[in-house]
A and B are shown apart, each in its own frame.
Chain A
Amino acid sequence: MSDTAPPPGPLQLLVNGILHENPVFRLALSLCPAVAVTTTVLNGLILGVAVLAVQVLSSVTVALVRGAIHPRVRIPVYTIIIAVWVSAIDMTLAAFFPALYAQVGLYVKLIVAFAIIISRLEVFASRQPLVPSFFDGLGMGLGFLLALVTIGAFRELLGNGSFAGIALVPRPLLFFALPAGGFFSIALLMAFFNRIDRAASGGAKRPAAGGSHHG
C-alpha cells in the first residue's frame, strides 16, 4: 500500500478485518495470546474487547500524529503509543471492573506485545488518514474479538462442557482446555473458516495465511 493509493470505504475495511484479513484465522497473528486466554468464552470476550479498544485508540493516535513521527524511531513510538493505551485500559478495568480484572488483569498487560496491533499501525494507520484508520482498527479489533469468542466458546464447550459458565455437556474432553488443544481448536476453526470463505467466493482459492508473520 503506498501513500497515494485511495483508502477503501469504511464497510469494506470492516469486512476486511472480520473476514478476508481476520487477524487470527487469516493473518495467523497473535496466536499465542489467542491460545492462552481462550479457555472460556467470557475470557475471550473480555480480552477481545480490550484488544479492540487498544487497536482503535492506537490506530487513531498514529493516524493523527503520523506526520510528526520521525521515520527512524517510528517502531519505538508505536510501541509507546500502544503501551500508553494498554496502561490506560488496565487502570480503568482495575478501577471500575475489579471482578473482571481479577480474572484477566494479567493478560491485559500482555496486549502491548500483540503483533496484530503494531502490524496494523505499520501497514495501515501510519499511511492513511484518520477515518480509514479508525475503520481499519475497528475491523481488525472486531475480527480479533470474534475469533477469540469463537475459539473460547469452542474450547469451553468441548474442554469444560459448559458455555459462559453454564454446564451443558456431561463428559468434557479436558484436552481442548489445555494449550495443545487450543492450537488444535484454532486449526480446526481456521479450516472451517477457509471452507466457508471459499464457498462464498465461488470456489476460488485464496492464498494461505501469512506464513511470514510471527507472534
Chain B
Amino acid sequence: MSDTLVQIDGAPRPPMDPREVARIAVNLAVVCALSAVVLGGVFMGTERYQKAASLAREQRAVVDMLALGSDARVLEVRQFLAPEKREVVYRVKPYGDEAAPVREVVFSLEGALRSTRAAAAATVPAGLVPLGRLFVAQRSGQPAGFVIEGESRGYKNRIRFFVALDTAFTVQGVRVVEHEEDPGLGAEVATTWFQGQFVGRTADRVVRIDVAKVPMPEDWRAALNGLAGEPAGAWRAKHAALITREAGQPIYAVTGATISSRALTRGVRTTVDHFRRRWALLAPQLGGQP
C-alpha cells in the first residue's frame, strides 16, 4: 500500500500514468454521485417535516412580535412581480389558513391600481416571481401592527428576519428566523441584545441607520442584556430614557462580526424603506390609512 501513497519526504515523484489519473477521476466521480443520491433521498424524506416545523416557528414569531390579543386577526400578504405584464401582484389571505380564498391586488410598476379580484387559494400562477411577505394585524377592520419579512446576504449564507412595526412605523422588534452565521461571531446578530438595539427607532431613523465599530456604552449593554428575560413592553417602559438616547446612534457592531452586523442592519433598513412605499399603495385596499 505504501508505494501508492503520496510521498511527503520531498523525493521527486515519477509522472502519473494517465490511466491512473482517469481511475482517480472515476473513483471520485462515483463517490460524489452516490453521495448526491443519499443526500437527495434524505432531503426528500425530511423536507415536508422541516417545512412544517419552520412554518410553526414562524407563526409563533409573528404572533409573539405583534403582541396580539385574541381579538386581532392577521393577514398574510405575499408580494410578487409579474415581469412580462410589468405588474406587482399582492396576494392577501388570513394567515395560517392555507385553504382560505385569496384576494389579489394588482398594481402597475408605476404604482397605479389595475385590479382587485378573488383568486384560487393554494396555487400561485406561473410566471410570478416572489418578492417577500408581510403580515398585517387587524383589529376591528383597522391595521394594528405589521411584521415584514426581509432577507439579507450574511457572511456565509442569507439571513432571513422579521421586522415588527407599529402603526406609526416605529420598530417593535427585529428577529432573525434563519441564518448560518458562525457560532460565537456572526451568530451573535441573532441574539436578543443585538436585535434589541433596533427597538423604539422610528422608520425615518431606521432608513438612514448604519453600523458603528465602537464599543457599546456599558449602561446600554446592561439594559439590552436584560431584554431576554422581560416582556418587550415592560422593558421599553423601564429603559425609555436610554432607548431615546440611543435611537439617534448607529447600531453597535458585534466584535469580530462586522459583516454580519452590517448585513442585518442594512437588511432592516431596506426592508423598512420598501415597506413604507408599498404600504402607501396597499393601505386603502386593506382598510387602513396610507
Taking Cβ atoms with an 8 Å cutoff, the residues of A that contact B are 3, 36, 68-73, 76-77, 80-81, 83-84, 87-88, 91-92, 94-96, 98, 102, 106-107, 109-110, 179
Stretch at the interface among B35-43, B73-81, B116-124, B280-288: B35-43
Contact assessment for A95 and B46 in the assembled complex, using a CB-CB cutoff below 8 Å: yes
Interface contact B27-A70, CB-CB below 8 Å: yes
CA distance A96 to B5 in the complex (A): 42
Inter-chain contact count A-B, CB under 8 Å?
A: 69
Q: Determine the distance from Cα of A98 to Cα of B27 in the docked complex, in whole angstroms.
A: 37
| Chain B interfacial residues counted at CB < 8 A | 30
Inter-chain contact B39/A3, CB cutoff 8 Å: no
Residue B24, interface by CB 8 Å: yes
- Best-surrounded residue of A68, A70, A81, A102 (most CB of chain B within 10 A): A70
> In the complex the two chains form, is B53's CB within 8 Å of A98's CB?
yes
**Residue contact B57 to A102, C-beta cutoff 8 Å:** yes
Partner of B28, one of A3, A73, A109: A73
A36-B184 contact, Cβ under 8 Å, with A84-B35, A102-B57: yes
Residue on A with the closest CB to B6? A72
Q: How far is the CB of B190 from chain A (nearest CB, A)?
A: 9
- C-alpha gap A87/B181 in the complex (Å): 17
Residues of chain B having any CB pair with chain A under 8 Å: 1, 4-6, 23-24, 27-28, 31-32, 35, 38-39, 42-43, 46-50, 53-54, 56-57, 180-184, 187
A92 and B53 in contact, given A36-B184, A107-B183 (Cβ under 8 angstroms): no
A to B CB contacts below 8 Å, 6 in the list: A69-B31, A71-B4, A80-B35, A91-B42, A92-B46, A94-B50
Is the beta-carbon distance between A91 and B46 smaller than 8 angstroms?
yes
The complex places the Cα of A3 from the Cα of B31 at a distance, in Å, of 23
- Is the beta-carbon distance between B46 and A80 smaller than 8 angstroms? no
Please state if B39 and A71 are interface contacts (CB–CB under 8 Å): no
13 other contacts beyond A88-B38, A94-B46, with CB at 8 A cut-off? A70-B23, A70-B27, A71-B4, A77-B27, A77-B28, A81-B35, A84-B35, A87-B42, A94-B53, A95-B47, A98-B54, A102-B57, A107-B183
Known contacts: A80-B35, A88-B38. The answer to whether A72 contacts B57 by CB under 8 A is: no
Please give, as numbers and ranges, the residues of chain A lying within 8 Å of B28 by CB-CB distance: 70, 73, 76-77
Minimum C-beta distance from A125 to chain B (A): 15
Contacts of A102 in B (CB 8 A): 57
CB-CB < 8 A to B49: which residues of A? 95-96
**Across-interface contacts of B48 in A (CB, < 8 A):** 95
Q: Tell whether, in the assembled complex, residue B32 and residue A109 are in contact, meaning their CB atoms are under 8 Å apart.
A: no
Q: Is the CB of B43 within 8 A of A91?
A: yes
Cβ distance B193 to chain A, nearest Cβ, rounded Å: 16
